[in-house]
């Protein structure tokens, strides 16, 4: 019995030893295929050094295209513009063979085959020879049919909106659908008609903006039920003692200050209901108070890092701090606010004089009796959660949390604790046409950006201003201002960032950072020029329209174009003197 047990144990030990010895061989897997192994990698960038995504890479060996190991599709660059691929060639092919790389992408000039230098990297465990090569490529934009189609569609969208031939939400959504439709029909047969893929169009939608708007609309919807806005309307009227000019000036200053610490869209969402209540009391068109407030919100938002989206983009890219924005932009923003406020008071003086201010004391008494807080508990809940949300806005740089997260969190918690019906809120308080307009407009602009329209404008700035700091300041400021009046300033600012960085390195004196401030002032203040130039403008017009106050594209532009030009001129003088 003992001998049998010993023999059994001996067999088990032998099997275990054999298993351990065989383990590494099994783990190593099948031997690598025989042949010369070539690894090629690199970056594809534009002339400014920014990566070009989704460029198709082809590798040629002795003039014939070869496929990567285990792949049948083309090699495509990632989001940073990088690519890497492994090839197995017949033994003895390298290093004598001629290896070339080329790249193609719709709306970009193809990179003709470039011979790469192949380096010997030794041998693997099976004796196969290993080679590696690194080849970076630079691609330049080219004008294609897709470029003209995307540019014409963008132009027509603005024309139709300005002439009010169609609702702005319908025309923008139709333009977005047309761009994607052309891409997958004509673009399928001819790459020159390719504009933007569905995935890229979806990625172009700034959901941070969309959800921020939705969250703050829900906030305002709940707060309206407390009677707080009506109460504030009474207080504002009482403070002005019936003087509409003083009232408008006070509202502009308050809006500008709040916009410096909140984003200007949120500010307008909060002050808009109050303003409408005041205008109804005075029996004047609410737009003569709302438009100056919107203008002031954009001017005030220019002063700080978190006040306007272009500033957030610039601060993140250039590594600029909150204090640097205040130091360089607060003064010129204050002067611009003072001048533009006086101009808009003069512009609207006829409407202000029409206000019914017969018995101020009696009206104040009536408003005090009529406009009272109706739900103090809900008001306290709303103000506490709004305060927490504002705190999260201020800490967004430290927490690296998008402001939309704070807005949605605060508004949804408020709905939960207040017991308000979310279905009712979504149906009645969220301005869906405005949100859809933003979504569609992001896609239309992305089509123009993807085909190179915005890049053409940016390159023109670079070429014209080369070597002259004064010319660079003036051109960057004015081109940014005019473009931002008609093209959303967010993608334009994003496109200009690498160009400004390049100019800072090549133009003497630009290292002071003055061109960053030129871009910030141009993009933020230029958005005041039209009703579609800034997000706050679009939201104000949309909500005012919902309240029965319609304004045309041309009328808005008449009211705001010249004060926008004046503020940009003030900024130009400031930049040229200060730097």
What's residue 217's pLDDT?
85
pTM comes to 0.75
What's residue 30's pLDDT?
57
Alpha carbons within 13 angstroms on the beta-carbon side of residue 99 total: 24
What's residue 523's pLDDT?
93
What's residue 514's pLDDT?
94
Specify whether the CB–CB gap between 62 and 109 falls below 8 A.
Answer: no
Task: Return d(Cα 259, Cα 265) in angstroms, integer.
Answer: 8
Q: What are phi and psi of 138, to 5 degrees?
A: -120, 125
> Across 106-216, where does the E strand assignment appear?
111-115, 119-123, 129-134, 137-138
What's residue 73's pLDDT?
64
What's residue 43's pLDDT?
95
Burial class for 41, CB neighbours closer than 10 Å (0-12, 13-18, 19+): middle
Q: Mark the ranges of the chain whose per-residue pLDDT is less than 50.
A: 1-28
Helices (H) and strands (E) in the chain, counts: 25, 10
End-to-end CA distance of the chain: 100
Task: Return d(Cα 370, Cα 231) in angstroms, integer.
Answer: 9
What's residue 32's pLDDT?
63
Task: Return d(Cα 577, Cα 417) in angstroms, integer.
Answer: 54
What's residue 9's pLDDT?
40
Task: Return d(Cα 75, Cα 82) in angstroms, integer.
Answer: 10
SS3 letters across 477-499 = HHHHHHHHHHCCHHHHHHHHHHH
CA-to-CA separations, 143 to 140, 149, 194, in angstroms, rounded: 10, 11, 12
CA nearest to 215, candidates 203, 223, 226: 223
Who's near 288: CB < 8 A, 6+ residues apart? 248, 279, 348, 351, 352
Looking at the DSSP assignment, which residues form a beta bridge with residue 39? 86, 132
Domains and CATH numbers, the chain: 36-138 (2.60.130.10), 208-225+373-430 (no CATH)
Cβ atoms within 10 Å, residue 188 = 11
Task: Return d(Cα 117, Cα 450) in angstroms, integer.
Answer: 32
What's residue 71's pLDDT?
64
What's residue 24's pLDDT?
47
Task: Return d(Cα 542, Cα 531) in angstroms, integer.
Answer: 10
CA nearest to 141, candidates 563, 435, 428, 457: 457
What's residue 387's pLDDT?
87
């Amino acid at each position: 019995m003992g001998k049998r047990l010993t023999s059994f144990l001996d067999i088990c030990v032998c099997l275990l030893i054999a298993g351990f010895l065989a383990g590494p061989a099994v783990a190593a897997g099948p031997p690598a295929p025989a042949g010369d192994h070539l690894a090629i990698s690199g970056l594809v960038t534009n002339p400014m050094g920014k990566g070009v995504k989704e460029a198709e890479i082809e590798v040629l060996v002795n003039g014939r295209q070869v496929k990567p190991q285990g792949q049948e599709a083309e090699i495509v660059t990632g989001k940073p513009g990088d690519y890497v691929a492994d090839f197995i060639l017949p033994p003895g092919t390298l290093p004598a063979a001629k290896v070339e790389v080329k790249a193609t992408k719709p709306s970009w000039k193809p990179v003709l085959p470039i011979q790469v230098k192949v380096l010997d990297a030794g041998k693997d465990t099976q004796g196969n020879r290993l080679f590696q090569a690194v080849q970076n490529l630079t691609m330049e934009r080219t004008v294609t049919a897709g470029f003209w189609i995307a540019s014409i569609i963008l132009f027509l969208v603005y024309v139709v909106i300005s002439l009010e031939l169609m609702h702005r939400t319908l025309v923008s959504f139709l333009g977005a659908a047309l761009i994607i439709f052309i891409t997958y029909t004509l673009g399928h047969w001819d790459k020159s008609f390719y504009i933007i893929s569905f995935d890229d169009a979806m990625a172009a939608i700034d959901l941070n903006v969309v959800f921020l708007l939705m969250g703050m609309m829900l906030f305002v919807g709940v707060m309206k039920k407390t009677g707080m806005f009506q109460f504030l309307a009474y207080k504002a009227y009482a403070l002005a003692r019936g003087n509409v000019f003083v009232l408008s000036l006070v509202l502009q200053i308050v809006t500008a200050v709040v916009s410096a610490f909140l984003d200007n869209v949120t500010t307008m969402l909060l002050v808009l209901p109050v303003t409408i209540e005041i205008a109804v009391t005075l029996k004047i068109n609410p737009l003569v108070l709302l438009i100056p407030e919107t203008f002031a919100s954009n001017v005030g938002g220019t002063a700080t890092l978190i006040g306007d989206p272009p500033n957030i983009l610039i601060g993140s890219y250039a590594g600029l701090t909150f204090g640097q924005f205040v130091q360089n932009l607060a003064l010129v923003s204050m002067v611009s606010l003072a001048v533009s406020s006086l101009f808009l008071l003069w512009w609207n003086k006829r409407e202000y004089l029409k206000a019914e201010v017969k018995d101020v004391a009696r009206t104040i008494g009536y408003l005090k009796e009529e406009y009272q807080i109706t739900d103090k508990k809900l008001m306290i809940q709303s103000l506490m959660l709004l305060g927490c949300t504002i705190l999260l806005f201020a800490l967004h740089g430290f927490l690296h949390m998008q402001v939309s997260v704070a807005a949605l969190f605060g508004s949804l918690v408020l709905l939960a604790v207040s017991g308000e019906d979310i279905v009712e809120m979504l149906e009645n308080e969220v301005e869906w046409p405005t949100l859809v307009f933003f979504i569609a407009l992001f896609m239309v602009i992305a089509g123009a950006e993807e085909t190179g329209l915005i890049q053409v404008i940016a390159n023109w700035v670079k070429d014209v201003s080369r070597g002259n700091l004064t010319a660079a300041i003036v051109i960057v400021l004015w081109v940014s201002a005019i473009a931002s009046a008609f093209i959303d300033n967010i993608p334009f600012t994003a496109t200009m960032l690498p160009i400004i960085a390049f100019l800072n390195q090549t133009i003497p004196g630009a290292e002071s950072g003055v061109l960053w401030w030129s871009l910030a002032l141009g993009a933020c203040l230029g958005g005041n020029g039209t009703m579609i130039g800034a997000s706050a403008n679009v939201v104000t017009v949309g909500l005012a329209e919902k309240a029965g106050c319609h304004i045309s594209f041309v009328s808005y532009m008449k009211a705001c174009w010249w004060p926008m030009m004046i503020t940009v001129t003030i900024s130009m003088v400031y930049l040229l003197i200060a730097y």
